[in-house]
Chain A
Amino acid sequence: MIVMEKRPQPSRAWSLATPVVAVLATMVFGGLLFGVLGTNPFVAIKTIFWDPIFGEFAFYYRPQLLVKGAPLVLIAIGLSLGFKAGIWNIGAEGQYIMGALVGAGVGLAFYPLDAWYIFPLMVIAGAFGGWIWAMIPAVLKVKFGTNEILVSLMLVYVAEQLLASMSLGLLKNPEGFGFPGSRNLNEYASANSWILQDAGMHWGVVAALIAVIFAYVLLNRHMLGFQIRLTGEAPRAARFAGVNPARLILFCLGTSGMLAGLAGMFEVAGPSGQVSIDFNVGYGFTAIIVAFLGRLHPVGILLAGGLMALTYIGGEIAQGNLGLPAAAIQVFQGMLLFFLLALDLLTSYRIRFAKKEVA
């Protein structure tokens, strides 16, 4: 009979090892899945994890790593703050959309004016759009005790409808021959987030790196970061220590909304270029996996974001070259979160073999 014994202290070694083991387990079981789907598992895994960085066309895919990784890291950093404190913002997808809409809206309002201040204004607007959308669940939770998980998620569907409405109405390109979607911001120099398009560099990448540093300093060197960690690990102790839960909720949800909004704004002004009905591709949900894979640690999230971006790009290659369905990659990513959560057991429990059941 296998019994589990709670460790007096969570194991540091396992805490670092679980993400790696989870990735390996996902490769094995994902490989089996690909095998069942009729693809050679070894080729598939190599295509997903190796080819984007070292393969023949890596020069094309490497920049994509930054493009896909930046929004994931940016959103996941914000989510991790709340997750640490037990505040669950799972509507980042909606905040991402709102950031893009408000940011792009401000940019398009100035069209075709050419001025240096347009892009900074868009950045502020994008952050504001995401922030205000996240403030809805935050304020409702503080004022009425409403569940933030359900409210933030419902708002994703509302945001998706707004996106559809905007790309068919208010923000539609007046010179677009009736096609849905806004003007392409890539053709509007003052509202463009690219720094070096060939290298995949845009301001979102810079913002993601700043967010990682900001989160690291906050969590390790700042009172607020300590309170976040304390609330998550020992809620009762936090209450006795005088942590103000309302302030924490507003801060965590607000920050994660702001970062998600920024991610959406940089995306719409760069890689995507325009507001369109299918603008959002699920970064807000994948970022949840990234946050957990990175063990809610800023540096971990940076690495996890890179790895997730890799599976996106590798998945696209596998789709093109091996005919692997797009959904297979989604399953692959879901599997990763699954193994991660299951293996986390080893961090706080010790597995032992005992003779017989006691109770």
Chain B
Amino acid sequence: MDLSAINPILLIASLMVAATPLLLAAVGELVVEKAGVLNLGVEGMMIVGAISGFSIAVETGSPWLGFLASAVGGAVLSLLFVILTQVALANQVASGLALTLFGLGISSLMGQSYVGVKPPATPDLYIPILSDIPVIGPIVFSHDLILYLGIMIVAAVWATLKYTRVGLILRAVGENHDAAHALGYKVVRIRIMAIMFGGACAGLGGAYISLIRVPQWTEGMTAGIGWIALALVVFASWKPWRVLLGAYLFGGITVLQLNLQAAGVAIPVEYLAMSPYIITILVLVILSADKSSAPASLGRIFHASH
């Protein structure tokens, strides 16, 4: 065992990379839940985003087109959830599960000819002087653009929810859909937008795994990150900046256990690999006591003619 092989600067830089898929998916789901909808299909939308982005990036040679395609792919899949929950008024829990099962199937169908293919590399940011500063350079100024995009989305979601009329309406719909409806807001339309935004974010997060973090395509490669993202929203008590904090915490745990595996710690690999999931459970237990910040209409079905 050689713990000195773990470089703290690289550790922090790579935890930011590990956290980004989680961050993107969770901030998308936060918006969905703020609108009063519980979409459990995050895992499904992520994996569909992962393969849509991967295939387009491979075919066109451009990772940026790939990321665009992944957002579209995630949003298109989320439309299935829209049909089930907003049009057919089906139970949201069951519909989310359906979305995940369907997404896992369709993604492995789409990805058959992409197993073992290498995607085009996504370039890292390089700013002369800034990127060369020791310690701060590699941590702050040398990542790929999508990582910064993730942080910007968090900031934008925070500002929108807090300071804009759109954010206020979104929250009103999530807190009390009957009252929002009575005020003349189009509850269903607003929710559809929120769900599609969540789908696009989850898709981006999935593509981040297949194009940058891993980078290759394997079936079921999201390995529960979509579900951890759902837990993260609870962890963050529906607050955007806490999503960022939580994502970096989980990213840290993931990277640390991988580093410990590589350093040859006496704990068996399997037990290290299960640690992110166990820690998710522990965090949920600690934070579940306070549900006061959950949107009041979360998961409830809205039908205008009540």
A334 contacts B102, C-beta separation under 8 Å: yes
B88 contacts A342, C-beta separation under 8 Å: yes
Partner of A285, one of B84, B101, B106: B101
B112 contacts A327, C-beta separation under 8 Å: yes
A333-347: which have CB < 8 Å to B?
333-335, 337-338, 341-345
A288 contacts B97, C-beta separation under 8 Å: yes
What are 16 of the A-B contact pairs (CB < 8 Å)? A140-B285, A150-B234, A151-B281, A158-B278, A164-B270, A327-B108, A331-B102, A335-B102, A337-B98, A337-B102, A338-B98, A338-B102, A341-B95, A341-B98, A343-B88, A344-B90
A359 contacts B304, C-beta separation under 8 Å: yes
**Inside 8 A of A162's CB, which chain B residues have their CB?**
270, 274
Distance of A199 Cα from B138 Cα, bound (Å) = 64
> With A90-B97, A325-B112 given, is the CB distance from A6 to B305 under 8 Å?
yes
Distance of A155 Cα from B304 Cα, bound (Å) = 39
> With A154-B224, A341-B91 given, is the CB distance from A333 to B277 under 8 Å?
no
By secondary structure, the B interface counts as helix
Other A-B pairs beyond A154-B228, A335-B102, 9, CB < 8 Å: A140-B285, A149-B40, A154-B277, A326-B108, A327-B108, A337-B102, A342-B83, A342-B84, A344-B88
B88 contacts A341, C-beta separation under 8 Å: yes
**Inside 8 A of A332's CB, which chain B residues have their CB?**
105
Best-buried of B84, B93, B281, B305 by chain A (most CB within 10 Å): B281
B303 in the interface, Cβ–Cβ < 8 Å?
Answer: yes
> With A158-B274, A161-B273, A292-B94 given, is the CB distance from A146 to B285 under 8 Å?
yes
Partner of A147, one of B89, B105, B277, B284: B284
A331 contacts B273, C-beta separation under 8 Å: no
A140 contacts B102, C-beta separation under 8 Å: no
> With A327-B112, A341-B94 given, is the CB distance from A157 to B274 under 8 Å?
yes
Distance of A292 Cα from B181 Cα, bound (Å) = 31
**Inside 8 A of B1's CB, which chain A residues have their CB?**
none
> With A158-B278, A165-B268, A327-B109 given, is the CB distance from A338 to B84 under 8 Å?
yes
A325 contacts B289, C-beta separation under 8 Å: no
Mark contacts of A206-242 with chain B using CB atoms, 8 A cut-off: 1 yes-contact digit, 0 otherwise. 0000000000000000000000000000000000000
**Inside 8 A of B65's CB, which chain A residues have their CB?**
none
Distance of A98 Cα from B285 Cα, bound (Å) = 22
A317 in the interface, Cβ–Cβ < 8 Å?
Answer: no
B231 in the interface, Cβ–Cβ < 8 Å?
Answer: yes
Which bracket fits the contact residues of A? 35 or more
Which bracket fits the contact residues of B? 35 or more
Q: What residue of chain B has the Cβ atom nearest to residue A359's Cβ?
A: B304
Partner of A333, one of B95, B105, B281: B105
A169 in the interface, Cβ–Cβ < 8 Å?
Answer: yes
B101 contacts A345, C-beta separation under 8 Å: no
Distance of A342 Cα from B54 Cα, bound (Å) = 30
B277 contacts A331, C-beta separation under 8 Å: no
B224 contacts A157, C-beta separation under 8 Å: yes
B220 → chain A, closest Cβ, in Å? Answer: 10
A-B contact number at CB 8 A: 141
**Inside 8 A of A333's CB, which chain B residues have their CB?**
101, 105
B129 in the interface, Cβ–Cβ < 8 Å?
Answer: no
Best-buried of B101, B109, B181, B223 by chain A (most CB within 10 Å): B101
**Inside 8 A of A349's CB, which chain B residues have their CB?**
89
| Contact surface of A with B, Cβ cutoff 8 Å | 3-6, 37, 83, 88, 90, 136, 140, 144-147, 149-151, 153-158, 161-162, 164-165, 168-169, 285, 288-289, 292, 325-335, 337-338, 341-345, 348-349, 359
> With A146-B288, A162-B274, A165-B271 given, is the CB distance from A345 to B105 under 8 Å?
no
Q: What residue of chain B has the Cβ atom nearest to residue A3's Cβ?
A: B305
Distance of A4 Cα from B87 Cα, bound (Å) = 10
Distance of A37 Cα from B112 Cα, bound (Å) = 12
B100 → chain A, closest Cβ, in Å? Answer: 9
B227 in the interface, Cβ–Cβ < 8 Å?
Answer: yes
B80 in the interface, Cβ–Cβ < 8 Å?
Answer: yes
Distance of A140 Cα from B95 Cα, bound (Å) = 25
Partner of B106, one of A4, A151, A168, A334: A334
A288 → chain B, closest Cβ, in Å? Answer: 6
B104 in the interface, Cβ–Cβ < 8 Å?
Answer: yes
A154 contacts B101, C-beta separation under 8 Å: no
B207 → chain A, closest Cβ, in Å? Answer: 19
B277 contacts A341, C-beta separation under 8 Å: no
Partner of A150, one of B103, B109, B227, B274: B227
Q: What residue of chain B has the Cβ atom nearest to residue A158's Cβ?
A: B274
> With A5-B305, A338-B102 given, is the CB distance from A345 to B88 under 8 Å?
yes
**Inside 8 A of A6's CB, which chain B residues have their CB?**
303, 305
**Inside 8 A of B83's CB, which chain A residues have their CB?**
342
- Which are the 7 A-B pairs with shortest beta-carbon distances? A334-B102, A330-B105, A165-B270, A331-B105, A327-B108, A327-B109, A161-B274
B291 in the interface, Cβ–Cβ < 8 Å?
Answer: yes
A331 contacts B97, C-beta separation under 8 Å: no
B230 contacts A150, C-beta separation under 8 Å: yes
Q: What residue of chain B has the Cβ atom nearest to residue A140's Cβ?
A: B285
Distance of A164 Cα from B94 Cα, bound (Å) = 30
Q: What residue of chain B has the Cβ atom nearest to residue A337's Cβ?
A: B98
B222-247: which have CB < 8 Å to A?
223-224, 227-228, 230-231, 234
> With A6-B303, A161-B271 given, is the CB distance from A341 to B280 under 8 Å?
no
B41 → chain A, closest Cβ, in Å? Answer: 11
Distance of A325 Cα from B98 Cα, bound (Å) = 20
Partner of B288, one of A3, A147, A155, A337: A147
A353 → chain B, closest Cβ, in Å? Answer: 15
Distance of A333 Cα from B106 Cα, bound (Å) = 11
**Inside 8 A of B219's CB, which chain A residues have their CB?**
327
Distance of A175 Cα from B106 Cα, bound (Å) = 41
